[in-house]
Amino acid sequence: MPRLAAAAALLAALAAGCGGATASGPASPAARRAVAERFAAAVLHGDAAAARALLPSSGDGALAALVRRAAAPWKGQRASLRLPARRSGDRWLVRYAGTRTQAGGAFERETGELVVVVDDAAAPAVRYFAFTRVRSRFGTHHDSQLLPSRR
């Protein structure tokens, strides 16, 4: 019995020290914003594992599959985020711009918003996300070369 009590005390101390859920109530808007911003940064830098760690359950559910699919095109590519995230009801909007280079010299410039829904539990987690207002412009490196003027 003393071992069980010691183990329970150790788990409680670890949870408190690691930022685990507490009985203090819902997370602050600043904590939810931080989770949304970390999630957006992970997805737009191609780090699916870091993004999945911010889900309620980082198992192999449908949401985890969507995270892998969304992060894959950004792996090894360049993207910039406009922070801080803006709040819209229970959603956080993160504007982004990025360039994805394809083989053969083609590239795609993309801008848009990543909408992240974060729950208000004591330990906030990402419940859903979506890309909105996405605009893509395609080109080649030949398009970006300056041509001589006819003047």
Q: Give residue 146's pLDDT.
A: 53
Query: Under a CB-based contact definition with an 8 Å cutoff, are residues 75 and 92 in contact?
Result: no
The full set of domain ranges for the chain reads 25-140
Residue % of the chain over a pLDDT of 70 = 75
* pLDDT computed for residue 2 by the predictor: 43
User: Residue 81's pLDDT is what?
Assistant: 95
pLDDT beyond 50 at 10 = no
Is the pLDDT reported for residue 76 higher than 60? yes
Hey, which residues does 81 pair with through a beta bridge?
96
Give the distance from CA 23 to its chain's centroid: 27
pLDDT in the model for residue 140? 74
| pLDDT tens digits along 105-123 | 788 899 999 999 998 888 8
Express each pLDDT in 24-66 by its tens digit: 678 899 999 999 999 999 999 999 999 999 999 766 689 999 9
Residue with the larger pLDDT of the pair 12 and 43 = 43
* DSSP per-residue letters across 35-68: HHHHHHHHHHTT-HHHHHTTSSS-SSSHHHHHHH
The CATH class of the 25-140 domain is: alpha beta
**Distance between CA 139 and CA 37 in Å, rounded?**
29
User: How far is it, in rounded angstroms, from Cα 97 to Cα 84?
Assistant: 15
Which pLDDT score is estimated for 25?
Answer: 77
Q: Which of 33, 110, 118 is nearest to 78 (CA)?
A: 110
Number of residues in the chain: 151
Q: What is the distance between the alpha carbons of residues 3 and 115, in angstroms, rounded to a whole number? A: 46
